[in-house]
Structure 1
């Protein structure tokens, strides 16, 4: 039982070390994710407007 406890505490210490060293990294990753999400949003918005335009064109073509 003591071995299990020691193993767990060793793993938690490793996790603490990793989490403290990656804290700065994760902030950078969050910023990059936000930028990527904004870019995707802009892309999807422009794609939607292009799709709407082409739908209008198709409708007009069918009518004529």
Structure 2
């Protein structure tokens, strides 16, 4: 029931993206960039996220209890 911040760091050589349709957030990061996204209070559930620029990476998720 609280907002929270996720710090994102792209330590790779190319662009990266933090994207989640259920969370309604999308953030593109250039190589070497550190930034953040603020997530609104969530209802209990699983909220997946992925990197559109690097589809070989596994999908991640946030579990809200």
Same fold (TM over 0.5): no
TM-score where L is the length of structure 1: 0.14
TM-score where L is the length of structure 2: 0.14
Q: Which has the higher strand share?
A: 2
Structure with greater Cα Rg: 1
